[in-house]
Amino acid sequence: MQPDSAQAAVCERIELALGDITREHVDAIVNAANNSLRGGGGVDGAIQRAGGPEIMAECRKIGHCATGEAVITGAGRLSARFVIHAVGPVWQGGGAGEELLLASCHERSLELAREHGCRTVSFPAISTGAYGYPPQLAAPIALAAAIEALTRLPLIEKVRFVFIDEELHGVYEKALARLKASA
């Protein structure tokens, strides 16, 4: 376990923002993808539309991504250099390993970002939309996973969680405040 002051410093590398993830000026944006990498609605659809067909073409070549994992492609017309396609779990009531899978897709996304020289990464609220993960449960898991990964990946300077609505932003804000208070 690392000293509390070090964890507090890691927490400062996390930002929460309202906005459109497709307009983020970061090295990589994370897509809330499905296993088939074939596009979908929500964040996935928005990223595919904004980034153009190049992203889908790369996803087709990759073909599949397991739940809890992530793969990386170029970003097409987006201002980011990369899109990291992370597959979060579908909520099944909490007894099907959802917590570990949600943490894993966040950690794996940041590991991929670092492997590709990224210093800044933006995430959506993975699994909290169509996959039904309760945001109050997802937020502390996602944030703790990001903090854990950042302790091992000091060259990643900033991780942003970007939300389209204020309610979801508020849930993550409260969870981050609790994590900071316990640091």
Q: What is the CATH number of the domain that holds 33?
A: 3.40.220.10
Q: How far apart are CA 2 and CA 62, in angstroms?
A: 37
Cβ density class 99-134: b for 16+ within 10 Å, e for less: bebbbbbbbbbbbbbbeeebebbbbbbbbbbebebe
Q: How far apart are CA 161 and CA 124, in angstroms?
A: 6
Which positions are annotated as active-site residues? 44
Q: What is the value of pTM for the model shown?
A: 0.95
pLDDT tens for 13-41 read: 999 999 999 999 999 999 999 999 988 88
pLDDT tens for 137-148 read: 999 999 999 999
**What does the radius of gyration of the chain's CA atoms come to, in whole angstroms?**
15
Number of structural domains the chain divides into: 1
Residue 7 pLDDT exceeds 90:
no
Find the domain containing 95 and state its range.
4-182
